[in-house]
């Protein structure tokens, strides 16, 4: 990924006029100057939004110019000999990618942004966001920040976030394993208790069987007789109900027949009356409007009214029968349920009596023995499952330690540290700072002056600024080895509190870094800087509430 051209309008303080920034093939050092609020930092935000569609700590609604709105960005870059053009606006529908002038077809791609990030840019958002636009103030507290905050930054820079995600998944699995083991332990304890209690129950049952059998037999016989008598009464009620229900059904059928007959008569009346409505016979065309015919019509209407009245009465009776049939349906269901319960109880008591009449004490003991056998098998299964899970838990704890700060991370840091410390030493020498800064495996900074270790707090503001810059550049070189496709770097307000000699030294280092790492480095400052080291100067001004820039080449 090599960015070649950036275009934008209506972004932040920039107006409707399209701004265009071309990046030449050679690696260059740019200075961006302008008053506070002129729009210097917006250039890096334009690139980040154009590539990723979002900005850290900024809502989308706050991105466009307040007057014109409708922010728009277009970025042209080169990827594996392919010209890629990315066009984006605030509206999600305004997001297109062109490959060698042809719009990319999104069909079959899970996400257009994922395709852009993974297949073209090759750089995750958090890495790009922490590489393309850096303020030295962001690293100001790196030497003395809390260990947790320091680890968070290192995880992002060196890609340890994958290990962190694996560790979180592992922690979740370990919590689940512990919960499973607690449950299994509880089940095992419960099984042991159940086996002991069942064994005691067998002993008690054997002692009580003889005395209980006779008593139970008498009680069951008495109970059986009671339910058999109840069954006879219930059967009689069912017989009586069926007689009543049959009469209602017969009457209902008769009414249904009468309804059909009356409805047929009404249709016949309607057919006859329809002849009189036309006032002519459809067959012989004779006149049907005479008094004779009108009298016949009135007679038909009168008869139809009587039939209709009779039908209404029949229908009313039918509704009453429907209500009665519904009640009968509920009664039938209730009788059936009660009968089923009675029959079930009779059958249950008879089964109990058959069991009691079999002279075999083991009938009551065998189920308990089967329970003990089943519980013992379950206990064995639980113990085996516990052994497997405990073994798995031990393995996962080992993996958790490997993924932790004392494991793989520390091994990686041990590999990184010599190069990092060596680079810091070289850079400190180049800016003539008579200090030595070394990081240990915990990434704690040890600062010494003339061989004597000194606290970080004893550094002056300017010295701290220079040390921060050196650490930043050293880490940037390591990052560039992993994400070598990045060709931009923005440094915002780098030179505040730095003396003129330090400014010149830092600029010299940035010039060499631009050439060594293949970067176009943009140094943002509100005041002009010495021009002899820079290749370009971008001067940003704000007129009539809108920003614009002029690019000068040295």
CB 76 within 8 A of CB 85: yes
Provide the b/e sequence for 295-315 (b: ≥16 CB within 10 Å): eebeebeeebeebeeebeebe
Average pLDDT over residues 460-477: 81
CB 29 within 8 A of CB 521: yes
Residue 527 clears pLDDT 90, i.e. is over it: no
Between residues 411 and 147, the one the model is more confident about: 411
SS3 per residue for 459-483: CCHHHHHHHHHHHHHHHHHHHHHHC
- Partners of 31 in the beta sheet? 523, 537
CA 128 to chain centre: 25
pLDDT reported for residue 440: 83
Residue 140 clears pLDDT 60, i.e. is over it: no
Residue 288 clears pLDDT 70, i.e. is over it: no
- Partners of 11 in the beta sheet? 64
pLDDT reported for residue 345: 85
- The sheet carrying 445-449 orders its strands as 436-439, 445-449, 452-454
For 39-91, list the strands marked E by DSSP: 72-79, 82-89
Average pLDDT, the chain: 82
Instruction: Of 50-64, 86-100, 283-297, give the lowest mean pLDDT range.
Output: 283-297
Average pLDDT over residues 365-369: 77
- How do residues 204-218 score in pLDDT, each as one tens digit? 777 776 676 777 777
As given in the structure block, the two tokens for residue 505 are: 């030294």
Residue 420 clears pLDDT 90, i.e. is over it: no
- How do residues 153-194 score in pLDDT, each as one tens digit? 666 666 666 666 777 788 888 888 889 889 988 888 888 888
Q: What percent of the chain has pLDDT over 70?
A: 86
Residue 92 clears pLDDT 80, i.e. is over it: no
Torsion sign over Cα 407, 408, 414, 416: negative
Rounded (10°) CA dihedral 172, 177, 183, 184 = 170
Average pLDDT over residues 538-549: 91
């Amino acid at each position: 990924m090599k960015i070649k051209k950036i275009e934008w309008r209506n972004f932040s303080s920039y107006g409707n006029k399209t701004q265009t920034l071309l990046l030449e093939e050679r690696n260059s050092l740019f200075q961006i100057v302008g008053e506070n609020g002129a729009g210097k930092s917006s250039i890096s935000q334009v690139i980040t939004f154009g590539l990723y569609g979002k900005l850290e700590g900024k809502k989308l609604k706050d991105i466009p110019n307040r007057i014109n709105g409708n922010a728009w960005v277009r970025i042209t870059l080169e990827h594996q000999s392919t010209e890629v053009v990315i066009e984006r606006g605030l509206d999600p529908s305004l997001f297109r990618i062109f490959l060698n002038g042809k719009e990319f077809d999104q069909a079959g791609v899970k996400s257009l942004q994922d395709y852009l990030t993974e297949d073209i840019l090759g750089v995750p958002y958090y890495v790009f966001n922490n590489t393309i636009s850096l303020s030295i103030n962001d690293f100001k507290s790196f030497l003395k920040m809390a260990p947790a905050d320091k680890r968070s930054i290192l995880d992002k820079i060196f890609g340890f976030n994958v290990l962190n995600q694996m560790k979180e998944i592992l922690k979740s699995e370990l919590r689940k394993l512990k919960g499973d083991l607690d449950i299994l332990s509880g089940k095992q304890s419960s099984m042991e208790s159940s086996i002991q209690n069942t064994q005691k129950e067998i002993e008690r049952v054997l002692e009580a069987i003889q005395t209980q059998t006779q008593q139970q037999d008498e009680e069951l016989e008495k109970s059986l007789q009671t339910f058999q008598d109840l069954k006879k009464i219930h059967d009689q009620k069912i017989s009586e109900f069926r007689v009543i229900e049959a009469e209602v059904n017969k009457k209902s059928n008769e009414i249904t027949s009468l309804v059909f007959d009356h409805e047929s008569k009404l249709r016949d009346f309607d057919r006859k009356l329809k002849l009189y409505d036309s006032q002519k016979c459809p067959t012989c065309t004779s006149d049907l409007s005479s008094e004779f015919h009108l009298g016949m019509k009135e007679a038909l209407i009168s008869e139809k009214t009587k039939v209709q009245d009779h039908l209404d009465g029949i229908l009313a009776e039918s509704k009453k029968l429907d209500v009665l049939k519904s009640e009968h349906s509920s009664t039938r269901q209730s009788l059936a349920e009660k009968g089923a319960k009675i029959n079930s109880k009779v059958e249950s008591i008879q089964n109990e009596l058959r069991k009691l009449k079999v002279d075999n004490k083991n009938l009551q003991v065998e189920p308990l023995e089967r329970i003990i056998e089943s519980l013992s098998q379950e206990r064995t299964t639980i113990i085996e499952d516990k052994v497997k899970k405990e073994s798995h838990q031990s393995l996962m704890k080992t993996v958790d330690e490997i993924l932790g700060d004392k494991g793989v991370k520390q091994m990686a840091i041990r590999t990184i540290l010599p190069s990092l410390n060596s680079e810091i030493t070289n850079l400190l020498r180049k800016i003539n700072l008579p200090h030595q800064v070394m990081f240990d495996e915990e990434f704690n900074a040890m600062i010494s002056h003339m061989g004597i270790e000194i606290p970080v707090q004893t550094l002056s503001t300017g010295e701290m600024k220079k040390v921060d810059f050196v650490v930043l550049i050293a880490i940037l070189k390591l990052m560039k080895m992993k994400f070598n496709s990045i060709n931009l770097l923005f440094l915002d307000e780098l030179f505040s509190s730095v003396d003129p000699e330090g400014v010149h030294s830092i600029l010299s280092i940035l010039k060499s870094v631009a050439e060594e790492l293949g970067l176009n480095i943009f140094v943002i400052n509100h005041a002009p800087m010495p021009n002899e080291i820079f290749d370009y100067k971008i001067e940003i001004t704000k007129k009539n509430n809108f920003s614009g820039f002029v690019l000068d080449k040295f």
